[in-house]
Amino acid sequence: EGDEDSGIGVATKTRTKTQRPSLYRVLLLNDDYTPMEFVIAVLQQVFHKSQEEAVTITMHVHNNGVGECGVFPYEVAETKVTRVMDAARKHQHPLQCVMEKQ
Ligand code: TYC
């Protein structure tokens, strides 16, 4: 016959910090050879931009050297960079697309 449980407990609570997915900014880089129309088409097809948004971003990259296409979780960003780079290689354009942790 053991000791009786007093029935009095100590409340404990585990507070796990919420794991927010790291976000990555996808950037297009300017070059002297990729046609404007190709960049505009990529922005519409890969990043679901409207024609107007795509033109604005393309001109921004053309004038400033770099511009943001969007911010995504790691795997989504990686897939979009790959799609852009595959399309550029297929058409033999030197267009560069990169991602950076936000
Ligand atoms: N600078 C290119 C041109 O004059 C156009 C261009 C825009 C290229 C954006 C790349 O990410 C880019 N044809």
pLDDT digits (tens, 9 = 90+) for 16-26: 888 888 999 99
CA of 28 to the centre of ligand 1 (A): 9
* β-strand partners of 67: 28
Asked casually if ipTM beats, i.e. exceeds, 0.95, the reply is yes
| pLDDT above 90 coverage of the chain, percent | 79
- Going by CA atoms, what residue is nearest to atom 11 of ligand 1? 30
Pick from 65, 63, 81: nearest CA to 25: 81
- pTM, two decimal places: 0.85
